[in-house]
Amino acid sequence: MARADDNKNFLSSEDAVALRLRERLARFPWGLLLLLTLAACIGLTVLFSAVGRRNIGMLFSQTVRFGFSLVLMVILALANEKVYRRYAYLIYGLILLMLVAVAIMGDVGMGARRWLEIGFVRLQPSELMKAAIVLALARYFHDQSASPLRLRDVLIPLCLILAPLALIVHQPDLGTAVIVAVISGAVIFVAGLSWHAILATVIIVPASFPLLWNFLHDYQKRRIFTLFFPEDDPLGAGYHIIQSKIAVGSGGLTGKGFMGGSQSHLDFLPERHTDFIFSVLAEEWGFLGAVILIVIYGLITLRGITIAVMARDRFGLLLASGLLSLFLFQVIINIGMVIGLLPVVGIPLPLVSYGGSSMITVMLAMGLLAHVSIHSKQHGRAV
Amino acid sequence: MLEDDHELFRVDARRRLLLIGGLGGVLFSVLGIRLFHLQLLKGGEYRDLAENNRISLQPVPAPRGHIFDRNGSILVENRPDYRLAVIPELSGGLPKTLERLRAYIEITDKDIEGILKQARKQRSFLPVKIRSHLTWREVSRIEVRSHLFPGAIIQIQSRRHYPFGSLGAHVLGYLGEITETDKRDFTDTTFLGMEDAHLVKRDLNDVRFRSGDLVGKTGVERRFETVLRGQEGVRKMEVNALGRQVRELGHSSPMPGDDLYLTLDIDLQRDTEAALGEKLGAVVVMDPRTGEILAMVSRPAYDPNAFIRGFGPGQWRSLITNPGRPLTNKAIQGQYPPGSTFKMVVALAGLAEGKIGANDRVVCNGHIEREKVRFHCWKKSGHGSVDLVQAIAQSCDVYFYRLADKIGIDALERYARKFGFGELSGIRLVGERPGLMPSREWKRARQRAPWYPGETLITAIGQGYVMATPVQLASMVATIANGGILYQPAMVRPGNKSTAVVRRRIRIDPQHLALVKHGMEEVLNGSRGTARQAAPKGVRAAGKTGTSQVVRQKREESGKAIPSSDPRFQDHALFVCYAPVESPELAIAVIIEHGGHGSSAAAPVARDILERHFARKNAGLET
């Protein structure tokens, strides 16, 4: 407890003056917002091609969602300093409760319980947990700043991670579970996990795979299996991967042009507007289009790293690290699975895949990131 | 000091962030290299795959599971169905082909409009459905002249068939084209319910629903959709640039849906339908030892095959506008005042509460007065002095008025609820309704009025607010027959084995039960029993008549001009019974809408069912 108080003093001694709204707006990372908008615009264009004129309503609602989440991002970013640190555990606790509620009475879609109906809002608490777990871990390591962290220092954080993880795996939502695990790992890593402990993890985690294998659903096992041998099951689980690879590969250097993707338009490609939207982009815009989007993603990640480095305190630094990891790994896992490098686990492509929960989670994370940036140590030096 | 500590952390963290950034960079590069490999190095190869060898995957529908009765007689099966489709691209002008086809099969102008509309919506190399349910004659006529119809293909699909027609139609249900709501329902894992989830042997994630699919709309077909539904297979076809199928590259076979064994006994079902004839109403026959539904009939009925064949103009209209509501399963959805069939529950409540003894007698002179209102016994001249057994046997209203006065509505409601009144029985069919057991709170909430003592009196004879479904009445009489076990009415036999689910065990003093049962035996077998003319031959039964006077009120409201002979203003006739009395095997509830008296209209239906069933059973035992 004493340490937490010290930190408070340390912070207030440095800069006790709360920023005015105008200053906050001036310090807002507008470049980041521009990059996000660029990615979302590419996303909307590809989505238009993917869903076609007949489902123009989907394009409309996706645009509305982006506009809404943009506003949400700005609001979150402009919040008072320390408010997220103060309520980190509360937010985490609330969302954990929502996950429990989902397990007990959640709405079931396609054989999995993921949604919670509150009034007229349909929430997917597992999505929100991605941000909440980062908040909770950042708060924990802010308060407990042992360095380097040994395995016993991370026992409580592990509990913080495993509780929601178990609930998410139970839903079952393997994709989200993987993301939660990866970003939690990233936060612990940045918080200073000792290299010995990292080595131990690297040995223990793969060793525990056979054990975890038994907890997977049959269809999940099959999906992982066909990752390695997709051609073995061309009509079953390998189908997505093969069709997606054909779509991507046939795009060539410059693509077949807007609305010109034969592969993605002949209904060969399932879920082309959600998890597999990248293959529509790669088919129609070719290598150049795909690389442009990846570069934009890279720039957003890079901006996230500079924000983390410039963060005023440990909480801000860890929060930014976790959020940028969230973004980075969602991008990498989604694209990796679409082009046949990783198993198909159902992770949306940030800002581009169709869907409300995913869009809001990404922009919510970006809002928190911008918040850290606004309250950073040396403003103006950031890239 | 702290500043240093923080700086130290920052330096370390910065290093670690750079590592993450580096990892990100490496991974992005891996993605880029992979894209380079796929799109630039092997791009030509994939382009060939995409353009020249388009692979088309066609779903192969899976046959739906069959439905059997408890003895293995098939109730629902599949038959081949021939349908004609045309691939527009190959037809050399779809409208022309359609015109030519008209010479050989019946296609209306409206059909053509729909077909052309559908054809515009989809890719021109995909087949458009022209007509289903072709007869074999039509198929051969087209096949012989196939050169006249380029692009025409005959597809064979399986089609649901109900060999017994309307027999058991309300239990079996019917199929219809899937809607968005259906899709949501069926993909909801709670739709089937916990107790039946194990019947699904397939992974729900692999069960697909497509628009145009036929799915269960009601009855067993709907409730067990996920069980009956198979898992479609896929045919992988190589399609050339024109869209013509070049060859089959492989296929995965469809997995047929699982079969379902119902608790129904087709012979008993047939007997029951015959006994009811064309009278409006419903009958439920239950095994009081397990809660299994052996027969369930609702009238009027429909032929589920009609939903597969399709309706002619006006046929569908007449089905949905029929005032007899043929699409409603009255056995679980019809809510009726139980009338005097409710009196057993009142008697057991009175005995359990110690409000009345076996030998206590009440003098009935045809009516009693309460709050200046005169409550009549159905027998105007009165029953004289009656005890409990005779009160049930002769259905004396005055006896139950006095008893109700002593019990009060609160205890009465508590007892009735124990027997399942006012709550869903949990039968595994969709659309069950709960009936109504009124209470003080209910009346305050719903009618914004206090409970009047007089209302307790009419409740005790099953009138007023109390409403029950036939399945609830069958459950009630089964519970009396088996000595107090309220079963959940079972509809399926997983693995053709009985699985009785006890909803509740009601503690009933054996002496009390014996008294009530004695009364019910007297109804059929006593010299003054209300249904003595309806006593079945060959088996000793116990029962209770009921007449529910719902419409008398309406008749009075609407003035006196309506003659009491108008069938719409006749009372509902009810009868519940079980047999044989020594060891009950059947519990029956009969309701005839506007049938008049329970004794004359409903009891003979039960008698017919019992006589036919036990005659067949005894014949079977002798041979």
Largest CA distance in chain B: 106
Report the C-alpha gap between A313 and A6 in whole angstroms: 12
Q: Does B552 touch chain A (CB under 8 A)?
A: no
Which secondary structure element, helix H or strand E, spans residue B141, and what is its range? Answer: helix B136-144
Question: Per-residue pLDDT for A311 more than 60?
Answer: yes
Which amino acid type is present at position A370? A
Mean pLDDT of B258-278: 94
| Long-range CB contacts (within 8 A, 24+) of A347-350 | A347/A175, A347/A176, A347/A178, A347/A179, A347/A275, A348/A274, A348/A275, A349/A43, A349/A275, A349/A277, A349/A278, A350/A39, A350/A297
Q: Which residue of B has its CA nearest to A251?
A: B39
Question: Per-residue pLDDT for B235 more than 70?
Answer: yes
**Residue of B11, B36, B39 to mutate, interface with A, max A Cβ within 10 Å:** B39
pLDDT at residue B215 in the model: 92
Mind listing the pLDDT tens digit for each residue in A180-209? Answer: 999 999 999 998 888 888 888 888 877 887
On average, the pLDDT of chain A sits at: 82
Q: Does A301 touch chain B (CB under 8 A)?
A: yes
CB B21 to CB A282 under 8 A? no
B252 a catalytic residue: no
pLDDT at residue B521 in the model: 96
Q: Which of B38, B40, B123 sits opposite A266 (nearest CB)?
A: B123
Mind listing the pLDDT tens digit for each residue in B285-317? Answer: 999 999 999 999 999 999 999 888 878 778 888
Question: Per-residue pLDDT for A319 more than 90?
Answer: yes
Question: Per-residue pLDDT for B245 more than 70?
Answer: no
- Using DSSP's 3-state secondary structure scheme, residue A259 falls into coil
pLDDT at residue B240 in the model: 56
Q: How confident is the model at residue A322 (pLDDT cuts 50, 70, 90)?
A: very high
CB A108 to CB B188 under 8 A? yes
The β-bridge partners of A113 are: A108
Under 8 Å between Cβ of B375 and B579: no
Percent with pLDDT over 70 in chain B: 92
Under 8 Å between Cβ of B257 and B230: yes
Q: Which residue of B has its CA nearest to A239?
A: B57
Under 8 Å between Cβ of B13 and A321: yes
pLDDT at residue B555 in the model: 46
The β-bridge partners of B134 are: B82
What is the radius of gyration, based on Cα positions, of chain B? 33
Contact map slice: B 410-469 vs A, CB within 8 A: none
Contact map slice: B 172-201 vs A, CB within 8 A: 184, 187-190
Under 8 Å between Cβ of A304 and A382: no
CA distance A364 to chain B (A): 21
DSSP letter assigned to residue A149: B
What is the radius of gyration, based on Cα positions, of chain A? 21
Choose the most confident range, by mean pLDDT, from A50-59, A274-283, B226-235, B520-529.
Answer: B520-529
Residue B505 backbone dihedrals phi, psi, to 5 degrees: -105, 120
pLDDT at residue B3 in the model: 58
The β-bridge partners of B245 are: B239
Residues of chain A positioned with their CB less than 8 A from the CB of B16: 189-190, 192
**Residue of A250, A295, A309, A344 to mutate, interface with B, max B Cβ within 10 Å:** A250
Q: Does A300 touch chain B (CB under 8 A)?
A: no
* Proportion of chain A in helix, strand, coil states, percent, rounded to 5: 70, 5, 25
Contact map slice: A 27-66 vs B, CB within 8 A: none
Which amino acid type is present at position B194? M
Report the C-alpha gap between B479 and A373 in whole angstroms: 72
Range scoring the smallest mean pLDDT among A39-53, B82-96, B120-134: B120-134
Under 8 Å between Cβ of B69 and B270: no
Strands (E), B240-292: 245-252, 260-261, 281-286
Closest to A322 in 3D by CA, of A304, A343, A338, A340: A304
Percent with pLDDT over 90 in chain B: 54
Pairing state between β B67-68 and B260-261: parallel
Mean pLDDT of A349-378: 89
Q: Which of B9, B55, B56 sits opposite A192 (nearest CB)?
A: B9
Residues of chain A positioned with their CB less than 8 A from the CB of B49: 246, 249-250
CA distance B56 to chain A (A): 7
Q: How confident is the model at residue A6 (pLDDT cuts 50, 70, 90)?
A: very low
Contact map slice: A 84-123 vs B, CB within 8 A: 107-111, 113
**Residue of B11, B20, B207 to mutate, interface with A, max A Cβ within 10 Å:** B20
CB A286 to CB B56 under 8 A? no
pLDDT at residue B250 in the model: 75
Q: Between B328 and A116, name the one with better pLDDT.
A: B328
Mind listing the pLDDT tens digit for each residue in A213-259? Answer: 777 777 667 666 666 666 665 555 566 777 788 888 888 888 777 76
Mind listing the pLDDT tens digit for each residue in B503-545? Answer: 999 999 999 999 999 999 999 999 999 999 999 999 999 999 9
Under 8 Å between Cβ of B260 and B222: no
Burial B143-165 (b: 16+ CB within 10 A, else e): eeeeeebebbbeeeebbbebebe
Q: Measured between alpha carbons, how far is residue B169 from residues A59, A324, B166, B174, B269 in Å? A: 45, 60, 5, 8, 11
Q: Which of B9, B50, B234 sits opposite A145 (nearest CB)?
A: B9
Question: Per-residue pLDDT for B251 more than 60?
Answer: yes
Question: Per-residue pLDDT for B621 more than 90?
Answer: no
DSSP A288-313: HHHHHHHHHHHHHHHHHHHHHHH-SS
Residues of chain B positioned with their CB less than 8 A from the CB of A234: 236, 250
Mean pLDDT of B245-252: 73
Question: Per-residue pLDDT for B241 more than 60?
Answer: no
Q: Measured between alpha carbons, how far is residue B262 from residues A129, B427, B428, B494 in Å? A: 45, 12, 11, 8
Residues of chain B positioned with their CB less than 8 A from the CB of A291: 32, 35
Output the six-digit token pair for A368.
């928190």
Q: How confident is the model at residue A378 (pLDDT cuts 50, 70, 90)?
A: low
Alpha helices by DSSP H, listed for B334-469, are 343-352, 388-393, 397-418, 440-447, 453-460
- Using DSSP's 3-state secondary structure scheme, residue B456 falls into helix
CB B50 to CB A253 under 8 A? no
Residues of chain B positioned with their CB less than 8 A from the CB of A326: none
Question: Per-residue pLDDT for A15 more than 50?
Answer: no
How many CB atoms are closer than 10 A to CB A299? 17
Report the C-alpha gap between A108 and A123 in whole angstroms: 12
On average, the pLDDT of chain B sits at: 87
The four Cα atoms B350, B354, B359, B361 give a dihedral, to 10 degrees, of: -60
Question: Per-residue pLDDT for B365 more than 50?
Answer: yes
Report the C-alpha gap between B530 and B392 in whole angstroms: 9
pLDDT at residue A264 in the model: 59
The CA-based angle B179-B181-B184, given to 5 degrees, is 115
Complex ipTM over 0.90: no
Residues of chain A positioned with their CB less than 8 A from the CB of B17: 190, 305, 308-309, 321
Which of the following is catalytic: B91, B298, B340, B548? B340
Helix count and strand count (H, E) for chain B: 23, 21
DSSP A204-225: HHHHTHHHHHTTS-HHHHHHHH
Contact map slice: A 191-210 vs B, CB within 8 A: 191-192
Residues of chain A positioned with their CB less than 8 A from the CB of B234: 235
Q: Which residue of B has its CA nearest to A248?
A: B39
CB B17 to CB A335 under 8 A? no
CB B24 to CB A328 under 8 A? yes
- Using DSSP's 3-state secondary structure scheme, residue B593 falls into coil
Q: Does B20 touch chain A (CB under 8 A)?
A: yes
Q: Which of B14, B24, B35 sits opposite A282 (nearest CB)?
A: B35
DSSP letter assigned to residue B54: E
Q: How confident is the model at residue B59 (pLDDT cuts 50, 70, 90)?
A: confident
Question: Per-residue pLDDT for B378 more than 80?
Answer: yes
Mean pLDDT of B425-440: 94
- Using DSSP's 3-state secondary structure scheme, residue A165 falls into helix
Report the C-alpha gap between B83 and B573 in whole angstroms: 48
Q: Between B61 and B223, name the one with better pLDDT.
A: B223
